[in-house]
Structure 1
């Protein structure tokens, strides 16, 4: 019992001193551009929480950002945001002029929606976009671009490794769009730390069997692999179903409760590794939890305003990327875990500590999301 107490104290200390790890949905902004002749109309939605990091939207320090504070910060917001976007045509910049500012609601909270106009030196046949917002302070930030040019809709995800996007009138739209969201589906697995932690909680005991005396090494590699594939596939199918339903606006759930439920799934999965809550048909548990995790990311695709056919393509690509990312994760972890399954070190220094740490992190996130508090402010 004493080793477990020491372990709990150690993981508590680690979680308290580690840098904060954030929510299931990463930082995003939504950039919409409509090009007609030599003119560009744009709208840029940036989360208030991100703008607060840039310009400080709460001057009175009461912890609440009001519309009046956002309105008073209009000039500072424009000065911080608009220079981070450069549009060009035929090798020449298209100067941008800021317009009105209003509040828009997205799945993860309030955003400032900045309207702007641009004018290019000549009618646009090729447009270049260079995006640099927040990359210097948040490498996980993504800019989701939707561009209408020549009667076609184009989309991409701008990120630190891909800050530029160029499109021509004759360029086909669907191939690059599919590839972009295939990559984003895989990135969703590797960047969403709570999603990754949940999967790891399922993977850790995959090479073990529970007996009365505790965990013992599994003896049937084929059975262990098939059981793991069943769990991952059930999770992915459910993830795809709920993500698609929410992105198509067939299902609407409050983001606060969805994100809180995601944290609760981590706690349950980790507890199940320490105490036998569910021992049979884990794929059914994974399916149910996959429905919750899928709903947590749907707002990104819905916020782009795609037409139904384009949205269906992005959903297919994104879900295939998610499945591929999960298979890659399992392919990396399972052989190493299978080799180490006989070691007491794996059972007592990997499975147990990993599960305890997951419970602590899941509880941290649950409190943050359920009660809108930032626990690191008290540590």
Structure 2
């Protein structure tokens, strides 16, 4: 049936509206911006909860019925906004602890751009009454959401040692404040020091396990461990002893542990503060020295001296991670113990994976060439790191190789074990007078 012109005229606006709505619905959202949200970030300690409140200035202006700008919130409107914000945040204990009010204090405000939007940011401190330890508590919050029905406030715990929340990747979202939800219970009393201890031990293992420089330093110290220094070179002992080699490895690992533990403790407690760039450069230099020692002994039992001396430098690098975690003094001792345990466990794992193969290869005729070749590679990597960390070069050309090697430790161990097994099975071992030959 043919539609009349009048009907078509009546349908045309409806058709245009439909096309407009479809175009809007199907259009790419790339240019759309989500409505600004507030954030409450909590760092839970033993006797206080610290953190910050992030308020989008455009949403805050609507809530307080004022024209706010990044300049005015720190100027003419500073006192008003501080009073307004403080009046809309409170905390109390749970019913199990009597429900007593906690002290809430805001620090000096500053403006920070978050997600391309200017935010008014207040440091936040919450304390339980009478100096008690922090337990579960109720947080009441209705900044902005008391006026804006569509506004959301995301509450996140970014640090809680007892629950193993120590870094950004572990941050836990507790919930959301909105027009209907003004109170959330914060599980600040859950967990235990053991969970935090285990988490920091895991961080220590991860830091060393992913640190090509720390692993290479240890490897360069292990390479000459089955040998003895004599006549300005390395030689296989006249009576090879696995027990003697193991003792030397224990000395090396222990010396490194003592060195890095000392500076780790000093730096973590704030008694020593060294910029990271020279520390990282010195770590690369330590690898170069240990590689040179593996080629030709610098001093008798030099690997123990190198391990202890440069262990002090490596400890400063370990401390930088502790500092990045932002741990409070209350958990510092547990943190240091856990982190150190993780480091030592990783070192022992590296020794267990590599040392049997090195012990076997050290009794074969191929070990001098193997040892020198491996040390030259270590020296090459260390030199490249030194140049980059001293800003003499813009990049490390061996980074891809190093990343692959660190990411495949079992393959590296197998690659070392295969020639050791072949040499062992083919009986190409040094014997008789050749055992005392000097590798110069």
TM-score bracket for the superposition, by shorter chain length: 0.5 to 0.7
Moved over 6 A (4+): 114-117, 127-130, 162-167
Taking a change above 3 Å as real, the CA distance of residues 115 and 286 of structure 1, as seen in their structure-2 partners, is farther
Match of 2:159 in 1: 146
| Separation of aligned partners in 2, 1:378 and 1:187 | 21
Match of 2:208 in 1: 189
Match of 1:199 in 2: 218
Match of 2:375 in 1: 355
Q: Radius of gyration: which is bigger? A: 2
Q: Unaligned 5+ residue runs, structure 1?
A: 1-30, 44-98, 103-113, 131-144
Contact 2:112 2:120 in 1 (8 A): yes
Contact 1:274 1:352 in 2 (8 A): yes
Displacement of 1:352 in angstroms is: 1.1
TM-score, L = length of structure 2: 0.51
SS at match of 2:301: coil
Taking a change above 3 Å as real, the CA distance of residues 128 and 187 of structure 1, as seen in their structure-2 partners, is farther
Q: Does 1:243 align with 2:264?
A: yes
Taking a change above 3 Å as real, the CA distance of residues 378 and 267 of structure 1, as seen in their structure-2 partners, is closer
CA deviation digits over 1:279-302, x for unaligned, max 9? 235323211110001101212212
| Separation of aligned partners in 2, 1:115 and 1:234 | 50
Displacement of 1:129 in angstroms is: 6.4
Q: Does 1:373 align with 2:393?
A: yes
SS at match of 2:250: helix
Contact 1:231 1:286 in 2 (8 A): yes
TM-score, L = length of structure 1: 0.58
Q: Say which structure, 1 or 2, has more relative contact order (CA 8 Å, 6+ apart).
A: 1
CA deviation digits over 1:132-167, x for unaligned, max 9? xxxxxxxxxxxxx4249xxx88633465xx786888
Contact 1:246 1:298 in 2 (8 A): yes
Higher strand proportion: 1
Q: Does 1:328 align with 2:349?
A: yes
SS at match of 1:319: helix
| Separation of aligned partners in 1, 2:395 and 2:171 | 33
- Tell me the matched-pair count: 254
Displacement of 1:221 in angstroms is: 1.5
SS at match of 1:156: coil
Displacement of 1:210 in angstroms is: 3.6
Q: Does 1:290 align with 2:301?
A: no
Taking a change above 3 Å as real, the CA distance of residues 204 and 280 of structure 1, as seen in their structure-2 partners, is closer
| Separation of aligned partners in 1, 2:301 and 2:397 | 41
User: RMSD between aligned alpha carbons?
Assistant: 3.6
Q: Unaligned 5+ residue runs, structure 2?
A: 1-39, 45-50, 55-109, 114-118, 123-137, 141-153, 175-185, 400-440
Displacement of 1:307 in angstroms is: 2.3
Contact 1:264 1:363 in 2 (8 A): yes
